[in-house]
């Protein structure tokens, strides 16, 4: 079972992305949890532990940029990933108005 965290950095501003709504679902679309990034762009999401399986994090990137008066291309960014026995999984998002990237964090 895995504990899940995320962190969003707004690459254009060089600051954490505060107030981004993030939802966690199973890949079949079943909701697991939802939350909003804190003052440091961080969020622990879901139950204390996730069972092994396939999940998706969906970040409300369009709403984040609209709230700042910035035009953007992606209304959401969805990252699918597999949980396979890790005690902790960190899924960061590096965000700009017209691109995003992610990696398996530590």
Contact 10, 19 (CB under 8 A): no
Between residues 80 and 46, which one has the greater pLDDT?
A: 80
DSSP 3-state of 66: helix
pLDDT for 9-41, tens place per residue?
Answer: 999 999 999 999 999 999 999 999 999 999 999
CB 53 within 8 A of CB 82: yes
Lookup result for tokens 């993030």: 22
Quote the pLDDT of residue 46. Answer: 80
Which pLDDT does position 10 carry in this prediction? Answer: 98
Q: What percent of the chain has pLDDT over 90?
A: 86
pLDDT at 1 over 60: no
Cβ pair 9, 95 in contact under 8 A: yes
Q: How confident is the model at residue 49, as a pLDDT?
A: 82
């Amino acid at each position: 079972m895995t504990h899940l965290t995320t962190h969003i950095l707004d690459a254009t501003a060089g600051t954490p992305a505060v107030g981004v709504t993030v939802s966690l679902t199973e890949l079949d679309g079943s909701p697991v949890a939802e939350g909003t990034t804190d003052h440091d762009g961080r969020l622990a999401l879901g139950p204390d532990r996730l069972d092994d399986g396939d999940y998706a994090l969906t970040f409300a990137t369009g709403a984040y940029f609209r709230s700042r008066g910035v035009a953007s291309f992606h209304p959401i960014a969805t990252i699918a990933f597999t949980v396979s026995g890790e005690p902790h999984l960190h899924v960061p998002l590096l965000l700009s108005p017209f691109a995003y990237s992610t990696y398996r964090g530590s």
